[in-house]
Amino acid sequence: MTNVLKSIFISVFPVIALYFAIDSVIHLINHGVSYRYIGRLLISFSIATLFILFFIKPVARTDANLKKYTLPIAIGFLISLLFGGIIEQDLNGSLPGIGLFLGWVLYIRWYSTFNNREQNTVIKVGNRLPELELQDPEKNSVNTSKFIGSSSIFLFYRGNWCPLCMAQIKEIALQYKELEKRNVNIVLISPQPHKHTKSLAKKFGLDFNYLVDQGNKVAKQLQIFSKNGLPMGFQALGYNSDTVMPTVIITDKEGKIVFADLTNNYRVRPEPEIFLKILDQQDL
């Protein structure tokens, strides 16, 4: 039930913020200065800008609390509540700004986080990665035992719809030559439909292993399954409602896990330089 609520929240919240940003601008143009609307505009514009930039200029990661956005949002909240509610004596008119601020807190503290990932009993440094059965874009079966003999980076990403995932993969692609020198298998795994994985492979055109986790079978096996993790509405693009939590696993030549990143925040992810450092330290 929690993930269903998150799925609805992340689809509705940015739209509400964009609406109030536009409404605030129109009101200020037509009716002049109002603390309620200035505060509301600061909050809604900051929220809308974040989500728009995610898709226009994707980033691979952010800080956990999005400080550069939280500051103007907090200022807008204070303006809306104190100046709008006290000076303009219209607390009811300040409610949209208060509601947007509370929505931002929910986004930072509730939506963005995954719970209990430290309890994963399968993905542990020192463990051997279990045999995983996946599919290539043509639906041919691929077992991870084929990667034994070389070190491997397994990147589990939510799908082409996720801008942070795409930015993370782009970062890895930019390090392709360095990774190639180290004879590393790059294995990109998503539960998305095969046609989307085929599109991703065509986009980058690099010698990566683009694989599909049909029905999230492997995600469940590795305890990184995210039921109803897809934002509401993206089903119309052909994606399944269930997805995977972003995860990175590095194995040595024998298939033993030497590094694992099970982020507890979907916006906080390791940088490719960390992968290179781990590989060099292990002399893989």
Q: What is the pLDDT along the chain (284 residues), one digit of tens a residue?
A: 789 999 999 999 999 999 999 999 999 999 988 888 999 999 999 999 999 999 999 999 999 999 999 999 999 999 988 887 677 777 777 889 999 999 999 999 999 999 889 999 999 999 999 999 999 999 999 999 999 999 999 999 999 999 999 999 999 999 998 998 999 999 999 999 999 999 999 998 888 999 999 999 999 999 999 999 999 999 999 999 999 999 999 999 999 999 999 999 999 999 999 999 999 887 54
Same domain, 277 and 144: yes
The count of structural domains within the chain is 2
Same domain, 149 and 221: yes
CA distances from 101 to 35, 72, 79, 119, 253 (A): 15, 11, 12, 32, 49
Dihedral over Cα of 259, 131, 171, 47: its sign: negative
| Domain extent for 133 | 117-282
Phi, psi of 259 (to 5 degrees): -155, 140
What is the 8-class DSSP label of residue 156? E
The two beta strands, 185-190 and 243-244, are unpaired
Q: Are 151 and 253 in contact (CB under 8 A)?
A: yes
Same domain, 249 and 123: yes
What is the 8-class DSSP label of residue 129? P
Q: Are 55 and 21 in contact (CB under 8 A)?
A: no
Last residue of a domain, one of 77, 92, 111: 111
CA-only gyration radius of the chain, Å: 22
Last residue of a domain, one of 111, 136, 171: 111
Same domain, 121 and 10: no
Q: Are 112 and 191 in contact (CB under 8 A)?
A: no
Same domain, 83 and 163: no
Strand order in 247-251's β-sheet?
141-143, 133-135, 209-212, 185-190, 152-156, 247-251, 257-261
Same domain, 193 and 272: yes
The one-letter code for the residue type at 166 is M
pTM of the model: 0.92
Give the closest residue to 104 by CA, choosing from 136, 75, 139: 75
Same domain, 178 and 261: yes
Same domain, 140 and 275: yes
Same domain, 239 and 128: yes
Last residue of a domain, one of 54, 87, 111: 111
Same domain, 68 and 138: no
Number of neighbours of residue 112 by Cβ within 10 angstroms: 19
Instruction: Tell me the C-alpha distance between 251 and 1, whole Å.
Output: 34
CA end-to-end span of the chain? 43
Same domain, 131 and 85: no
Find the CATH number of the domain harbouring 148.
3.40.30.10
- Residue 210: helix, strand or coil by DSSP? strand
Same domain, 55 and 33: yes
Torsional class of 263: left (φ above 0), alpha (ψ -120 to 50), beta (otherwise): beta
